[in-house]
Amino acid sequence: MTAFKRVLFAFTIILSGFSVWAQYEPGENFDKDWLFYNDENPNGQQPELDDSKWRQVNLPHDWAIEGPFSSEYNARYGGLPIHGTGWYRKHFTMPATAKGKVVRLEFEGAMYNAHVWVNGNLVGNRPYGYIGFEFDISEYLKYDGSDNVVAVRLTPQDLSSRWYPGAGIYRSVWLKIDNPVYVDQWGTYITTPTATPEKATVQIETNVVNKSADNQQITVTHEYLDPSGTKVGSAKEDLEIPAGQTGTSALYTIIESPKLWDLDAPHLYTAVTTLTVDGQVTDTYRSTFGIRSIRYTRDAFYLNEKQVRFNGVCLHHDNGALGAAVYRRADERKLQIMKEMGVNAIRTSHNPPSRTFLELCDELGLLVQDEAFDVWKMEKVPNGYNLFFEEWGELDLKDMIVRDRNHPSIVMWSIGNEIIEQRDKKNGWTVAKKLHDVCRATDPTRPTSVGLNYYPAPYDNNMAQQVDVVGMNYKPSRYSEVRSNYPGLPIYGSETSSCTSSRGVYHLPIEKYKTHPSLQVTSYDLIGPGWAYPPDIEFHFQEKNPYVMGEFIWTGFDYLGEPTPYGGRDNSTNGYWNDDWPARSSYFGAVDLCGFPKDRFYLYQSQWTEKPMIHLLPHWNWAGMEGENIPVYAYTNCDEAELFLNGKSLGRKVKGVDKTTILIDFFRYEPKTFESPYRLSWEVPYEAGELKVVGYKDGRQVSEKVIRTAGKPAKVRLSVDRNRIAADGRDLAYVTVRIEDKDGNLCPNADNLVTFDVRGAGKLIAVDNGNAATLESFQDTKRKAFSGMALAILNSGEKAGTITLTAKSKGLKGAKIQVQTE
């Protein structure tokens, strides 16, 4: 393992390649055919309980997303029933051949305070809903073919977090049957102390469990497969492990001319670990890893010795209309959309993500800050994780790291976000040090971090100095001051901007307001709460202070709950956010709850991508405002842009030279306007027709965007992200719904009700429209358009065939689309 060394002005961490996830072999996915009961039941754990009338569900399952929306619930959590008691039960049989083996039940996550019984015996509990856990259930099972019952009770509470947590067994469950000698849970740890294009040193530590009654001589063998599946190396070691104990094997292998894991080429290798006793194979365990190096100085982050800035986003764990339940395709689509925006890094705000999410970051080439907590001992909300931190905090942090440390995508561990202990002069820094030490002991190859929103308290109180890389939340004007006062601290923007907007909504005249009677927020990208500021401000201070390693904007996607600027105040304990009901979801995202980009998406894209692009706003339907000036903005990475109205040039402007005055007003910053070099703008007297902007690089036209005045709504148009999906019961197809005029132009103000009918080899699992202030059910068969658009999500069945979706709207021409499952 690479030593960690830090001095005042020169700070370097070198670390490389990792295993990714262990595939459970032998083992069984345990997600199907559970029974669910959403209420108290004093006998829910008893095997003889009559559960024949309980509802049958497959996991992962989030009961809260089913609703209904109600002002009786807290808009802070989406106005959904995230609290109460939920029971899950599953009946299963065990073969006689499993007797004498080790049977474990693994939960990837259950929200929250899970208690697990097997055949009426309590086998354990785990409070934190975001962490995985497993129990050895061997002694509680019947192996004679008779019925076994596993029962799980969850008791999530209101005011338990600051956003929508979901409720239920919302991540997968696995049943693992092993011989008495096996690789432990999350049992491999792969690093590459050397990782160059010429050579890699692959180092693997393997925890081997011996639950037999005898001492065992065990041979541990590793074979390494390159991304094409070709064997490129191996290692072997004999290990003696006493009865009932766990031993560790440590080996290394040289791989010549490796393919490095990188943002544009995320190559993944596989390690196949085999355990043999007396020539008999007792376990086979597969780990996937990437070969790469990372290095931090006080001024920069390096991936494979190339400097990389964090073009990052913060993401909560929900997937909008699907709630907190983990669907691989939902996370994949989310991350693909983020990459299209130019994102190269994700902050898992503010909790451990799912294993599936991290697998996808590995596969797609995204850097990850893996974050453990939003709270330590001092509460933000009355029923938060602070109730469990004293007993469980260190174990939960360690388990997060042991589970996740093999992912090549992860480049730092965050021990907390906006922790209230920032102001605790006596104890705050000691807790931070303790958590930092847990990280360093468990994985010395990555730095620690923390997201600090107070200034200067945590720096004066010695908390910031306890981590390796300091995250600053909403303090762009203080970057230079921190560098001057604390020159040895590497820094980055761990949470930035917090600009809010509603897709397709434009309020005129442009003004800086706190809230709007419509419960929407203008998409001119300048509104936010008191701590917030437009993206341009962060761009400016990052350029002015190039030692800041980048930023993670709040947020990439809208999320359920926390409908700032409506309904409440952040961090307020005992707080219900229903004052502006029905505002019930986030407005922070650069992308709305459906996954449809807002205008801000393109502002970031103009700064974070190189492929020529140009974006134009607002829409061009302003009947009744003929002759009045409409502010028109262009976001582009081109050198120049020229605007045309009905074929007539309104002038060419140069990015960075022709600046746009934007309104600002945020804490600790005096100016109330900012001359933005990141936006081009024109004041255009409105007349219906065609608005076109052309982008030029080196004097040559390379991009254009056209917006036309739409006529009356005439038809529904459907498009699907993929027309072939897996017939596995879990895959998804996302269908975009547009209300168009007779010529195919989007009707930007349309709110027509669209009704859906699905036939064939799948079902309609959710609908949405991106409106953060509507009480329409996500699980209905109809949805109004919002700013002319809506979304339908199709879920495959388990048989190959065709899913046919038909969409109808009164007075409009309907549409039909088909998706093949295979």
> Can you say whether the dihedral through the CA atoms of 526, 530, 532, 538 is positive or negative?
positive
pLDDT band, residue 574 (cuts 50/70/90): low
Residue 276, amino acid: T
pLDDT band, residue 576 (cuts 50/70/90): confident
pLDDT at 568: 75
For 704-758, the pLDDT digits (tens) are: 999 999 999 999 999 999 999 999 999 999 999 999 999 999 999 999 999 999 9
Average pLDDT over residues 470-477: 97
pLDDT at 572: 60
For 315, counting Cβ atoms within 10 Å of its Cβ (0-12 exposed, 13-18 middle, 19+ buried), the class is buried
pLDDT band, residue 1 (cuts 50/70/90): very low
> Which has the closest alpha carbon to 504: 791, 775, 771?
771
What does the alpha-carbon distance between residue 392 and residue 378 come to, in Å, rounded to a whole number? 15
pLDDT band, residue 575 (cuts 50/70/90): confident
For 42-67, the pLDDT digits (tens) are: 999 999 999 999 999 999 999 999 99
> Which has the closest alpha carbon to 319: 732, 804, 755, 723?
732
pLDDT at 22: 33
The helix/strand/coil state of 302 is strand
Check: CB of residue 223 under 8 Å from CB of residue 322.
no
* DSSP count for the chain of H helices, then E strands: 8, 47
Q: Which two tokens stand for residue 435?
A: 């958590």
Side-by-side strand order, sheet with 700-708: 648-654, 640-645, 690-697, 700-708
pLDDT at 3 over 80: no
What does the alpha-carbon distance between residue 127 and residue 778 come to, in Å, rounded to a whole number? 28
What does the alpha-carbon distance between residue 78 and residue 319 come to, in Å, rounded to a whole number? 13
For 145-166, the pLDDT digits (tens) are: 999 999 999 999 999 999 999 9
Average pLDDT over residues 645-670: 95
pLDDT band, residue 31 (cuts 50/70/90): very high
For 434-453, the pLDDT digits (tens) are: 999 999 999 999 999 999 99
pLDDT band, residue 2 (cuts 50/70/90): very low
For 218-227, the pLDDT digits (tens) are: 999 999 999 9
What does the alpha-carbon distance between residue 614 and residue 706 come to, in Å, rounded to a whole number? 10
Question: What are the CA-CA distances from residue 26 to residues 94, 512, 780 (Å)?
Answer: 14, 59, 40
DSSP sequence for 665-692: --TT---SEEEETT-EEEEEE--SSEEE
Task: Give pTM, 2 decimals.
Answer: 0.95
Helix (H) or strand (E) holding 608: helix 599-608
Check: CB of residue 10 under 8 Å from CB of residue 487.
no
pLDDT band, residue 571 (cuts 50/70/90): low
Average pLDDT over residues 266-281: 97
Going along the chain from its start, the domains and CATH numbers come out as 14-22+180-294 (2.60.40.10), 31-171 (2.60.120.260), 309-569+592-608 (3.20.20.80), 614-708 (2.60.40.10), 715-821 (2.60.40.10)
- 585 beta partners: 560
> Which has the closest alpha carbon to 161: 395, 324, 401?
324
For 670-712, the pLDDT digits (tens) are: 899 999 999 999 999 999 999 999 999 999 999 999 999 999 9
pLDDT at 4 over 90: no
The helix/strand/coil state of 628 is coil
Average pLDDT over residues 555-572: 88
Q: Which two tokens stand for residue 697?
A: 């690089």
Average pLDDT over residues 776-804: 98
| Range from 387-396, 565-574, 604-613, 698-707 carrying the lowest mean pLDDT | 565-574
pLDDT at 805: 98
Average pLDDT over residues 405-424: 97
Question: What are the CA-CA distances from residue 715 to residues 245, 505, 619 (Å)?
Answer: 68, 21, 19
Beta carbons within 8 Å of 57's beta carbon, 6+ residues apart: 34, 35, 36, 88
For 68-127, the pLDDT digits (tens) are: 999 999 999 999 999 999 999 999 999 999 999 999 999 999 999 999 999 999 999 999
- Just list the catalytic residues: 418, 495
Average pLDDT over residues 581-601: 98
Helix (H) or strand (E) holding 614: strand 614-617
pLDDT at 18: 26
pLDDT at 570: 65
What does the alpha-carbon distance between residue 822 and residue 629 come to, in Å, rounded to a whole number? 53
pLDDT at 27: 67
pLDDT at 107: 97
Residue 44, amino acid: G
Looking at residue 376, what DSSP letter applies?
A: S
What does the alpha-carbon distance between residue 435 and residue 429 come to, in Å, rounded to a whole number? 10
User: Residue by residue, what is the 3-state secondary structure of 151-162?
Assistant: EEEECCCCCCCC
- 219 beta partners: 238, 276
Beta carbons within 8 Å of 538's beta carbon, 6+ residues apart: 476, 493, 496, 497, 551, 553
Looking at residue 560, what DSSP letter applies?
A: B
Looking at residue 422, what DSSP letter applies?
A: G
pLDDT at 573: 57
pLDDT at 285 over 50: yes
Tell me the pLDDT of the chain averaged across its residues: 95
What does the alpha-carbon distance between residue 820 and residue 724 come to, in Å, rounded to a whole number? 5
For 193-243, the pLDDT digits (tens) are: 999 999 999 999 999 999 999 999 999 999 999 999 999 999 999 999 999
Give percent of the chain with pLDDT exceeding 90.
95
Beta carbons within 8 Å of 263's beta carbon, 6+ residues apart: 303, 308, 344, 365, 366, 367
Average pLDDT over residues 557-582: 86
What does the alpha-carbon distance between residue 821 and residue 800 come to, in Å, rounded to a whole number? 5
For 212, counting Cβ atoms within 10 Å of its Cβ (0-12 exposed, 13-18 middle, 19+ buried), the class is middle
Q: Which two tokens stand for residue 472?
A: 């600053």
Beta carbons within 8 Å of 131's beta carbon, 6+ residues apart: 109, 352, 396, 399, 400, 403
pLDDT at 668: 80
**How many CA atoms within 13 Å lie on the side-chain side of 570?**
16
- 53 beta partners: none
Q: Which residues of 769-785 are buried (b: 16+ CB within 10 A; e: fewer)?
A: bbbbbbebbbeeeebbb
Residues in the chain: 822
Q: Which two tokens stand for residue 394?
A: 């260190």
Check: CB of residue 129 under 8 Å from CB of residue 165.
yes
